[in-house]
């Protein structure tokens, strides 16, 4: 029901990250401290940024823009960890709808807004919205109807994509002079792939985490920010009186059809 609309969009962001935060050396050398990574080669910095991302147990991901020509600009705000817990939201853009997402343990809660029901589920949306009346849909994390979404909420998904693409060397990698991103000192790395310029900003001090990724060109205009590394995902979940079981929801809408 909602999986194809909400789940595949965050998964696309995960794939974009994976294809950008990659390098040619083998993973497993450990995370090096960035005392002065500006003296390293562009490939060495990229490798350390990749290893730092793979070593993280949790993080916050903030993505916005469009990933390819003709796509609708959207935004994703997720705090996620390796255990598959996440808390955040997805906005499909252009008043197409948004949804809150909470996953904790074996359960997932999703609360689409009115625009989502109207635009993404035109046949049954009004009935779903009326029954839920502002409550969350609650389902098992293994429910196939929400599986794409729950997988996108797992930091392991992002890290596995990064690891699987570690040997992707397409495009020349270039290093720019150290600059600032907010209050952080960063080293920008730029690579051209498929007529798109990918720029990765790597922390120049402390652990060499990737802090921002931008994609520009050929209809693509997107930014992904990374923060809150190794900080826990919020553990609060909606109370029972603010939830509605997804199986009961589908049964109710079938009866009223």
CA-CA-CA-CA torsion for 208, 20, 67, 112, nearest 10 degrees?
-50
Q: Are strands 220-227 and 210-217 parallel, antiparallel or unpaired?
A: antiparallel
For residues 9 and 92, the answer to whether their CB atoms sit within 8 Å is yes
User: Would the pLDDT of 230 be above 90?
Assistant: yes
User: Would the pLDDT of 178 be above 80?
Assistant: yes
User: Is 223 in a helix, a strand, or coil?
Assistant: strand
> What's the predicted TM-score (pTM) here?
0.84
Tallying the residues shown for the chain, one arrives at 257
Structural domains present in the chain: 3-256 (2.50.20.20)
pLDDT in tens, 18-65: 555 554 332 334 444 546 788 899 989 988 998 999 999 999 999 888
Among the residue ranges 8-17, 117-126, 213-222, the one predicted with the least confidence is 8-17
Structure tokens at 248: 């009961």
pLDDT in tens, 187-210: 999 988 778 888 999 999 999 999
For residues 237 and 109, the answer to whether their CB atoms sit within 8 Å is yes
User: Is 247 in a helix, a strand, or coil?
Assistant: helix
- Which residues fall within 8 angstroms of residue 170, CB to CB, at 6 or more apart? 193
For residues 199 and 213, the answer to whether their CB atoms sit within 8 Å is yes
For residues 80 and 233, the answer to whether their CB atoms sit within 8 Å is yes
User: Is 124 in a helix, a strand, or coil?
Assistant: coil
Give the confidence band of 152 by pLDDT, cuts at 50, 70, 90.
confident
């Amino acid at each position: 029901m909602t999986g194809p609309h909400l789940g595949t969009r965050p998964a696309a962001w995960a794939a974009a990250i994976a294809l950008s935060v990659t390098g040619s050396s083998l993973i497993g050398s450990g995370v090096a401290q960035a005392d002065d990574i500006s003296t390293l080669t562009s490939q060495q910095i990229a490798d350390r940024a990749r290893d730092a991302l793979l070593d993280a147990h949790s993080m916050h991901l903030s993505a916005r823009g469009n990933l390819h020509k003709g796509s609708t600009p959207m935004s994703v705000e997720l705090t996620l960890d390796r255990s598959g817990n996440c808390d955040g939201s997805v906005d499909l853009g252009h008043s197409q709808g948004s949804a809150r997402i909470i996953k904790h343990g074996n359960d997932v809660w999703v609360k689409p807004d009115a625009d989502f029901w109207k635009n993404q589920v035109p046949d049954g949306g009004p009935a779903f919205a009326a029954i839920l009346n502002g409550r969350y849909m609650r389902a098992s994390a293994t429910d196939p109807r929400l599986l794409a979404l729950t997988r996108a909420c797992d930091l392991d998904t992002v890290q596995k994509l990064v690891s699987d693409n570690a040997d992707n060397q397409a495009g020349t990698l270039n290093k720019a002079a150290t600059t600032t991103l907010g209050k952080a000192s960063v080293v920008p790395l730029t690579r051209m792939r498929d007529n798109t310029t990918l720029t990765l900003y790597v922390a120049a001090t402390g652990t060499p985490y990737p802090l921002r990724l931008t994609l520009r060109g050929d209809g693509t205009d997107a930014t992904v920010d990374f923060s809150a590394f190794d900080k826990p995902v919020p553990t609060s979940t909606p109370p029972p009186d603010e939830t509605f079981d997804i199986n009961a929801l589908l049964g109710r809408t079938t009866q009223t059809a």
